[in-house]
Amino acid sequence: MKVIGIIPARMASSRFPGKPLAKIHGIPMVGHVYFRSKMAKILDDVYLATCDKEIKEYTESINGKAIMTSDKHERASDRTAEAMLKIEKETEQKIDIVVLIQGDEPMLVPEMIEMAVKPMLKDESILVVNLMTPLKNVKEHEDPNEIKVVVDKDNFALYFSREPIPSRKKGAKEIPMLKQVCIIPFRRDFLLEFSRLEPTPLEKIESVDMLRILEYGYRVKMVESKYETYSVDTPEDLKRVEGKMRNDFLIRQYLK
């Protein structure tokens, strides 16, 4: 099977304009994502998908592959779908699985990508996978920038929200506090189908792409990751991540 990674990234961001090129230990954030994704042995190739010349030029400066996409996309999945079709046209090869790797996940490790893809290799009925990891505390559970998820007994998603779910208001001593990690493998044809589906009410309310899948009656397989990762949504997040990556074991492999 041909499995590729696509990192959608754009300079426009309401909370943190220009964040893909914001530096962490001297390397633009999207560079960390690219270098670390390239280490995943399960991927045949990795591309950056962008509508911004600055990101394309940076990608080429590190000998990476950039695909220019429309500047009209609101969702990372739509940008990824466009890039996938362009890659197929350029390479004259059909892709089987495309892993959407958000450009604001600089702490990812290659094993996370492999963990996310493996269920699809074992079970053809699985169309899309998300990673999830435990939230550390109540503050994180209440942070609207963290997308929370609740799952069934087989680890299929029941619901995603930016609100703290499940509720702590009934006084339960222990509740599962899980967050989505945006490393998302799609089967090729399902990504295209997903992009054609009209956005749904809950997707719009929560601003979470995966709810469109649930609202149309499909399933999202969740895989728990043991790795500590934080996405970057704000300048404050960038400072936190830079601190946590100070002794990062992977950086030494590409920081020169």
Mean pLDDT of 178-182: 96
Q: What is the pLDDT of residues 220-242, one digit of tens each?
A: 999 999 999 999 989 999 999 99
pLDDT at 255: 77
Do residues 4 and 43 make contact, with C-beta atoms less than 8 angstroms apart?
yes
Name the token pair of 124.
């053809």
pLDDT at 172: 81
What pTM was computed for the model? 0.94
Residue with more model confidence, 247 or 189: 189
pLDDT at 256: 64
Name the token pair of 160.
């995603």
pLDDT band at 169 (very low <50, low <70, confident <90, very high): confident
**Of residues 71, 47, 45, the one with CA closest to residue 60:** 47
pLDDT at 168: 86
Mean pLDDT of 74-100: 96
The average confidence (pLDDT) of the chain is 95
Tell me the CATH number of domain 3-254, given options 3.40.50.150, 3.90.550.10, 3.20.20.70, 3.40.50.720: 3.90.550.10
Alpha-carbon distance of 224 to 133, in angstroms, equals 6
Q: What is the pLDDT of residues 3-39, one digit of tens each?
A: 999 999 999 877 788 999 999 999 999 999 999 999 9
Residue type, 165: I
Return the HEC string of 190-221.
Answer: HHHHHHHCCCCHHHHHHCCCHHHHHHCCCCCE
